[in-house]
Amino acid sequence: MTLPDDGSAPDWAGFIAAYLDELRDVRRASPNTLDATTRDLQRLQAVLVAAGHCRSGDIRRWIAGLHQDGHQTASLQRYLSSARGFFRFAVGRGWLTSNPTTGVRAPRHRRKLPMGVAADALGQALDQRAGSIVERRDRALLEALYSSGMRLAEAHGLNVPQVAHGQTELRIIGKGEKERIVWLGSKARSAIDDWLSVRPQWLRREDEPALWLNPRGGRLSRSGIGLAVKAFAQRTGLEGRVHPHRLRHAFATHMLEESGDLRAVQELLGHAQLATTQIYTHVDFKRLASVYDGAHPRARKRPGTDDVG
């Protein structure tokens, strides 16, 4: 495909379809990335078709309009990132002579930390007796999320063979198709074994591999996992809005508080950049002051000395 010489509009739909094929077949983008990019570029296509051309001003007006409509800054940055990738591809193929996203910036996004969950409160909730099948599934699900720090998509994709035979080390595929190992603690392992003992009661076909089932015998959906976590929190009295990512945050912060090993937690979370792991840390001032007083040689009091006024 090349840009038409007769003054007619470019084939934006064809260009975008070719780029999505590239993402899927050549770059092996994850299904989540592919779905999000498709939605973003469908928005962009509508703007380009309406404008009849493609200039930096069109992209700026597009982002500004979305901002005024109330789209969050994180979403605006993703829309612009999808557009940049597409236009780089189009320039590389010779369909465009320049990238109209050059110099265009989305509003800055202040990354907010999810609310924490106290280790004691979470432990008390998880230690409550689970009687029904759904309660046993939900307890195993939360134990697995909290014990391993898995993302929602990673937990959703778990299959029974990965946790059979008492494994405590799970090999999972995370963001960007990167493989890593996560661990299940003894409490999580016990809760999963308990769930596996009653899981057959929900099975509708013997070859269903999914670890987390819904009552109809199919794989529990991502939204179903979120609802299960919410229901568990309500049943057990956990305060605040509890969701899978909040459990991942709890895993990260509690591990950091006990170990102080940021690099190890980075590996466990599957973060490519250490800076991403650092946003999960929140150390209050008293703890920071305590660390300083105990560690700095000029801050520590010497035995038998007093402050001089």
Query: Which residues does the annotation mark as catalytic?
Result: 151, 175, 245, 248, 271, 280
Query: Cα(7)–Cα(223) distance, rounded to whole angstroms?
Result: 47
Beta bridge partners of 72: none
Q: Cβ atoms within 10 A of the Cβ of 241, count? A: 10
Residue 293 CA to chain centroid, in angstroms? 36
Query: Cα(50)–Cα(66) distance, rounded to whole angstroms?
Result: 16
Instruction: Write the CB contacts of 112 (distance below 8 Å, at least 6 apart in sequence).
Output: none
Tokens representing 153 are 């998509």
The 8-class DSSP code of residue 157 comes to T
Query: Cα(29)–Cα(222) distance, rounded to whole angstroms?
Result: 19
Beta bridge partners of 181: 171
CB 200 within 8 A of CB 164: no
> 41 to each of 13, 38, 56, 89, 93, how far by Cα in Å?
9, 5, 16, 13, 18
- 34, amino acid identity: L
Query: Cα(44)–Cα(12) distance, rounded to whole angstroms?
Result: 9
Q: Cβ atoms within 10 A of the Cβ of 119, count? A: 14
Tokens representing 85 are 């990738």
Q: Is the dihedral of CA 183, 247, 157, 136 positive or negative?
A: positive
Tokens representing 157 are 């994709």
